[in-house]
Amino acid sequence: MIYISTALYCEAQPFIRHYNLKKDMIESKFQIFRNDSILLIITKTGSMNAAIGVTYLCTGHIPGPSDLFINIGICAGMNNDISVGTLFLCNKITEQVTNRSYYPDVLFAHPFLEGSIISSPNIINNKREEKYVNGKAGMDKECLIDMEAAGAYQGASIFFQPHQLIFLKVVSDYGTGEKVTPEKVTDLIGSNIEKITSWLEQIHRNCLVNQISFLEEEEECIRKVIVNLQCSVSMEHQLRQILRYYKLAHGSFCERLNQYMNNPDMPCKTKTEGKKYFEQLKSKLI
């Protein structure tokens, strides 16, 4: 399952359209939209609302170890050289009120820019003399500003491990008082929707694959292949990963492996010969 939180409906709308999400009419505390693999909650603005909303969602739908959480929305950019519409993956989240910082694990390869974000309870005016942490530090001109990331992190971190938490923000303005309409917000998120969803679905598949375990019968088939092909540790790791994908897509692989192992050249006499047959086997399974 992929869990998505946004503050506003206009931020959620591109995801609702893309995934054909339906509103959960039973829920009355928050707007929740869903399908078989996506849960999306609109928390309203502010860090506290984000924390409460995410906690509410995850309490009613307990996440598993292969699930992902994504908080997405607009933000202000403190650097005028960054174009409106630029998408960032946040690697550091600072809560303005407490000066506490949180660090989502960025373990997956991604196509985005990375940046830090400050969650403020108020709309920040981008002035060089602006103070943001207990009046002690000037505004970092390279950072992003929003109102929800810190709260969403605190709520989600109760249910997810740091590597399952993803924070994506789209620059909508520069904090200089310009008006950002709901239509513009939807367009900004929507212009990035394909890049976001294709990446999310890819890493979610990887998480699912890594959770797949093998039955004893399947383990016996794997051991037979390892012995007959004189597999190295690296080859065994590749084989197991390929078989996880195969099992996810097609079910049991035992019959396929047993057919291949009936080759009269088995077991292989040398490691070089084993590598040749291993490559052949890979091509049949992928």
Percentage above 90 pLDDT, the chain = 55
Give yes or no for residue 7 having a pLDDT over 60: yes
User: How does the average pLDDT of the chain come out, rounded?
Assistant: 87
Domain count, the chain: 2
Q: Which of 148, 179, 210 is the last residue of a domain?
A: 210
Tell me which range, 10-19, 132-141, 200-209, is most confidently predicted by mean pLDDT.
Answer: 10-19
Cβ-contact 43, 72 below 8 angstroms = no
254 shares a domain with 226: yes
Which of 11-25, 241-255, 267-281 bottoms out in mean pLDDT, i.e. has the lowest?
A: 241-255
Final residue in a domain of this structure, among 186, 210, 234: 210
Q: What digits encode the pLDDT tens for the residues 50-82?
A: 999 999 999 999 998 788 999 999 999 988 888
- In terms of pLDDT, which residue wins out, 24 or 137? 24
Whether residues 26 and 61 fall in one domain:
yes
Q: Domain of residue 238: give its range.
A: 214-285
CA distances from 201 to 3, 104, 114, 115, 213 (A): 12, 19, 20, 22, 21
**257 and 193 co-located in one domain:** no
Any long-range contacts for 42-45 (C-beta under 8 Å, 24+ apart)? 42/5, 42/6, 42/7, 42/8, 42/9, 42/11, 42/12, 43/5, 43/6, 43/7, 43/148, 43/152, 44/7, 44/8, 45/7, 45/8, 45/147, 45/148
Instruction: State whether 206 and 218 are in the same domain.
Output: no
Q: Which of 210, 245, 262 is the endpoint of a domain?
A: 210
For residues 134-156, one letter each, b for 16 or more C-beta atoms within 10 angstroms of the residue's C-beta and e for the rest, the string is eeeeebeeebbbbbbbbbbbbbb
For the stretch 110-168, pLDDT in tens is 999 999 999 998 876 655 434 444 443 444 555 899 999 999 999 999 999 888 899 99
Q: For position 96, what pLDDT does the model report?
A: 92
Contact criterion met (CB below 8 Å) for 132 and 118 = yes
8 and 127 fall within a common domain = yes
Q: Model-level pTM greater than 0.75?
A: no
Residue 109 has a pLDDT of 81
**Can you tell me which residue has the tokens 């005016």?**
125
Q: What is the bridge-based pairing of β-strands 113-119 and 144-146?
A: parallel
Average pLDDT over residues 219-248: 85
